[in-house]
Amino acid sequence: MAERRIGVAIDFSECSRKALRWASDNVVRPGDHLVLITVRPEGNYEEGEMQLWETTGSPYIPLHEISDPAVMKRYGVKPDAETLDIINTAVAQKEVEVLLKIYWGDAREKLCEAIDKIPLTCIIIGNRGLGKIKRAIMGSVSNHVVNNGSCPVTVVKSSDHE
């Protein structure tokens, strides 16, 4: 059986935790690679090495480093305890390999890029449930990936009232 790479867009918010939990419960199966993708804003690099990864994204970061605050600080990422708990539960229950990949720039563009470069079998994205006006101004990341991504995209709604 071919190796599956299940992508989950994660920004350590409640809606991305919901998407991660949904992916773990409904999509991920033993032997899969669970690739967490986070996109940071461009600029303000404290360390020179990040400029090297600006176009390609970070190297793949294994689970033991995702759990290490010192390593994550170098990338400007701060995983919360709840997200780490969801990841560790998925690893224990499903025997999956978890990797984190960090990109810098526009989340819409970088998530579509990640689909092709990694390459992903599918991607799961949380939906922040922005109102119609905010979505019109900011543009919906999930909507962009649904329309431009080259793999199946699942959007996990964060709220029922919209």
Distance, in Å, from the CA atom of 40 to the CA atom of 65, rounded to the nearest integer, reads 18
Sort residue 9 into left (φ over 0), alpha (ψ -120 to 50) or beta: beta
- pLDDT band with cut points at 50, 70 and 90 for residue 137: low
| Range scoring the smallest mean pLDDT among 27-36, 103-112, 134-143 | 134-143
Instruction: Give pLDDT, residue 26.
Output: 96
What the chain holds in terms of domains, given with CATH numbers, is 5-148 (3.40.50.620)
Instruction: Evaluate if residue 99 carries a pLDDT over 50.
Output: yes
pTM above 0.85, yes or no: yes
What pLDDT score was predicted for residue 88?
A: 95
DSSP 48: T
Residue with structure tokens 């033991």? 64
pLDDT of residue 74: 86
* Residue 41 DSSP symbol: P
Q: Residue 63: pLDDT band by 50, 70, 90 thresholds?
A: very high
DSSP-derived letter for residue 158 is: S
Nearest to 30 by CA among 59, 1, 53: 1
Give me the sheet containing 61-62, strands edge to edge.
61-62, 97-104, 33-40, 5-9, 122-127, 153-157
